[in-house]
Amino acid sequence: MKNMKRSVINLRNFFLVLKSDVRLLIGVSILIVFIILGFILCHFSPYDPKRWGQVPRDVPPCWSYPLGTTSLGQDLFWLLTFALQNSLVLGITVAAVSTFTGVTLGLLAGYRGGYLDEITTFLSDVFIAIPSFPILVMLAALFLGRIHILMLALVLCLFNWPWPAKQVRSMMLSLRERVFIETAIFSGFGTIEIIFREIIPLISPWIFANFINTVLVAIGAEAGLATIGVSSLEEITLGTMIFWALRYQAMFMGHWWWIAVPVVTIIVLFIALFLIYLSISEIFSIGGFKK
């Protein structure tokens, strides 16, 4: 019963913050629209998005085709829904794995210290120092533009976990000296219990903010790779939509809607994620460590 009451209170607090923070409200609203398009509406598509010649070619936005069609005979509206799904899945997967790995290692390294702290710090410094973009380009080139989207996500995870690991470690070094940690130790709490009951509730806003930021970074990295033709070209993403538009010279042919749709979508998605990130970061900085 207590847990249910806490959940209701937290949900009410979230809606209160959502109503009072215009940036957060705008960002969450846009993100919900994109999630509905990418994960619900796409199942109602009358076409197979990977097949060409499904609709008339090079039709500008009109009543029948709200976002127009491509030179390959694809409906941009339905193509966009599948692209949103793949791009969001990629971003969420990278953010979830990177954040979980980085936060876990950072908490353990900062709290326990010793060899675990030294190894974690060394590995995080190594991966931060290594430039990720050339390695991604090299791997994609080895697979001749057919690198699987999950493999791309794995590589992006390798270069995104060190940042949360280093930051959480720094916070942990400060928190472990607090009086409430000593009280928990004298009360007989173990390491895992202290981390889950005392530490994670304090840094959860930062964890969520880092998660949102990593989603943005992952989608941007894939879009950049796809634009130059070294991403997973067999999968429909926002980046590959731009790639095919550039390859068929959409702008030079006057088919501005083909390239405008994915570019504007990426911009709006980035703005939404950035607004959410700013709001969560501000809440975290105002709240601080209360214990």
Tokens of 208: 């969520």
Q: What is the pLDDT of residues 186-229, one digit of tens each?
A: 777 777 788 887 788 888 888 888 999 899 999 998 888 888 77
pLDDT at residue 145, rounded to an integer = 60
pLDDT at residue 262, rounded to an integer = 95
- Higher pLDDT pick, 182 / 14: 182
Tokens of 34: 């994109």
- Is residue 177 predicted with pLDDT exceeding 50? yes
pLDDT at residue 161, rounded to an integer = 92
How large is the average pLDDT for residues 115-133?
A: 87
- Is residue 43 predicted with pLDDT exceeding 80? yes
Q: What is the 3-state secondary structure (H, E, C) of the chain?
A: CHHHHHHHHHHHHHHHHHHHCHHHHHHHHHHHHHHHHHHCHHHHCCCCCCCCCCCCCCCCCCCCCCCCECCCCCEHHHHHHHHHHHHHHHHHHHHHHHHHHHHHHHHHHHHHCHHHHHHHHHHHHHHHHCCHHHHHHHHHHHCCCCCCHHHHHHHHHHCCCHHHHHHHHHHHHHHCCCHHHHHHHHCCCCHHHHHHHHHHHHHHHHHHHHHHHHHHHHHHHHHHHHHCCCCCCCCCCHHHHHHHHHHCCCCCCCCHHHHHHHHHHHHHHHHHHHHHHHHHHHHHHHHCCCC
CA distance to 103, 165, 166, per residue, from 122 (Å): 16, 11, 10
With beta carbons less than 8 A apart as the criterion, state whether 85 and 42 touch: yes
How large is the average pLDDT for residues 93-115?
A: 91
Residue from 269, 276, 212, 279 nearest 34 by CA: 269
Burial class of residue 211 in the structure, from the number of CB atoms within 10 Å of its CB (0-12 exposed, 13-18 middle, 19+ buried): buried
How far is 40 from 219, CA to CA, in rounded Å? 20
pLDDT at residue 23, rounded to an integer = 87
Burial class of residue 100 in the structure, from the number of CB atoms within 10 Å of its CB (0-12 exposed, 13-18 middle, 19+ buried): middle
Whole-prediction pTM: 0.86
From the CB of residue 196, how many other CB atoms can be counted at a distance below 10 Å?
Answer: 13
Tokens of 281: 């970061």
**Can you list the domains of the chain with their CATH numbers?**
37-42+58-287 (1.10.3720.10)
Q: How confident is the model at residue 61 (pLDDT cuts 50, 70, 90)?
A: very high
The number of CA neighbours under 13 Å toward the Cβ of 79 is: 32
Q: What is the pLDDT of residues 246-266, one digit of tens each?
A: 889 888 888 999 999 999 999
Burial class of residue 79 in the structure, from the number of CB atoms within 10 Å of its CB (0-12 exposed, 13-18 middle, 19+ buried): buried
